[in-house]
Amino acid sequence: MKLSTGWLGLALALAAPTVGAVNQEIRALFTPDPAQPQRNVFINKTPNSGYCSDRPSECMQQNMFSIRIPIVFGPSPSLAPGTAASVKVPASWRQLTVTNRDTQETETVEVRIIGIGSQYTLSDSAANLVGVTDILEGHQKLWNPSWVYAPSPCLYSGVGLYGSHTYRFFWKTPVEAPCTKVNAFRIPFMTYDTLDFAYELRTPNPLGMSSGLYTGSMNYRLGPGLDFDIGGLTPDDSNLTLDFVLDVQHTLKVTLPPGGNKVELVPPGGWQSWVNEGRKPNRLVRDQTFHISASSRFKMMLMCPGQVGNNCTIFDPATRRLGVVQLRVTLPNGLTDPFGQPINQRPLRIGDSGSLSIVPSFYVDRGKGTLHFEIGEQYTHLMLESGVAGDYSGVMTVIWDSEA
């Protein structure tokens, strides 16, 4: 499965953790948007928590979503001046498989961590550790350079939040590499009290997916030298599992104009030549328009009580004669066959074996289609045999099957 080129930042809200592991469901939804038919992406349905909940304006400017997990890293040993404190996260793309619970179809999702944060808590106030009276000055002098500046290759993402003993931060992580701070003064011990992170998700093209729930999981290890390494400290939970749920809710709707379910076949140009001049028409036709809204693949086929070959029939019970009706379909731009070819006057056949497969290249909202009905020359002449009246009727059922 080819991945779409769009990306999606998602967020988590966490339930109470279990010892040794944390599981969190992440839910995203696709429903077609008539206002943006070309926008075929999943929308985050998991609430923000953590940094972006505390500082929504900072995250909105950068299209960032964060999560907060109540995991504690540390406490650390005594940190002598000049000790490195590094943060590293899985910022490279990783793949997981999601499976439709009903159809067992599978798709590939890619995920990477694009931001990391926490709140460090010091053994004493920053001002006391540095030997000053101002809280902010204490935090600024404690590190070289000040913690407010994200160390390369991490990038600054907004204003930090500080207290006498604490400093909450959040950095963007464009690459998977350590982002290191060095303390300028001795710190007897410190902890990182939460794990905040944001991630980017590359999803499949939902137009190629069946409706339903697709589920899959991504597991991360937490600790020194592992996927999430915060300050080289040991966390109180060692595993984080993200349980993804992609909810695909497609649209397939077909509407006919009033009376459009009753089709009367007539000669091109009407009956005047037959009535006034006795010129027998060579065919009977009718074009019936309809409107279709579609966001996923589907099939079209015919069903009818009477048939000749792959075509339906109409029947006159008095003369016991029949006419064979050929049906073709034209669909609006954006709906093609599996080879990308437009659907223009394509024959519709009876049953699943003769079905016509349709694939949308974008969400089509109330596009105009046409059903072309025609009785050819042979049966038209038979039905209009001189001196023999007839009243022909029949039922043709056109099926739009969204379970294709």
Per-residue model confidence as pLDDT tens for the chain (404 residues): 222 322 333 333 233 333 457 888 888 899 888 888 778 888 888 888 888 888 888 777 766 778 899 999 999 999 999 999 999 999 999 999 999 998 899 999 999 999 999 999 999 999 999 999 999 999 999 998 888 889 999 998 877 889 999 999 999 999 999 999 999 999 999 999 999 998 888 888 888 888 899 999 999 999 999 999 999 999 999 999 999 999 998 888 999 999 989 999 998 878 777 766 667 788 999 999 999 999 989 999 999 998 898 899 999 888 888 999 999 999 999 999 999 999 999 999 998 887 899 999 889 999 999 999 999 999 988 888 766 667 899 999 999 988 65
Question: What are the structure tokens assigned to 238, written together?
Answer: 């060692």
Q: How far is CA 179 from the centre of its chain?
A: 32
Residue 7 has a pLDDT of 30
The SS3 call for residue 252 is strand
Strands (E), 260-404: 284-294, 298-303, 307-308, 311-316, 321-330, 335-336, 346-347, 356-360, 364-375, 397-401
Q: CA distances (Å), 147 to each of 21, 70, 174, 230, in order? A: 30, 22, 18, 15
Q: How many CB atoms lie within 10 A of CB 257?
A: 10
Residue 386 has a pLDDT of 65
Main-chain phi, psi angles of 261, to 5 degrees: -85, -5
Residue 18 has a pLDDT of 38
d(CA 303, CA 400): 11
Residue 77 has a pLDDT of 95
End-to-end CA distance of the chain: 17
- CA quadruple 330, 333, 338, 344: dihedral sign: positive
Domains in the chain, please, with CATH? 8-248 (no CATH), 252-401 (2.60.40)
d(CA 193, CA 120): 6
Let me know: does 356 contact 300? Beta carbons within 8 Å.
yes
Contacts 24+ apart (CB under 8 A), 333-336: 333/364, 333/367, 334/37, 334/360, 334/361, 334/362, 334/363, 334/364, 334/367, 335/292, 335/294, 335/359, 335/360, 335/361, 335/364, 335/367, 336/360, 336/361
d(CA 304, CA 398): 9
Residue 4 has a pLDDT of 30
Residue 5 has a pLDDT of 26
DSSP lists the bridge partners of residue 43 as 29
The SS3 call for residue 318 is coil
DSSP lists the bridge partners of residue 167 as 120, 162
- Sort 394 into a burial class: Cβ within 10 Å, 0-12 / 13-18 / 19+: middle
Q: CA distances (Å), 264 to each of 315, 374, 398, in order? A: 14, 11, 16
d(CA 357, CA 347): 12
Q: How many helices (H) and strands (E) does the chain have?
A: 6, 28
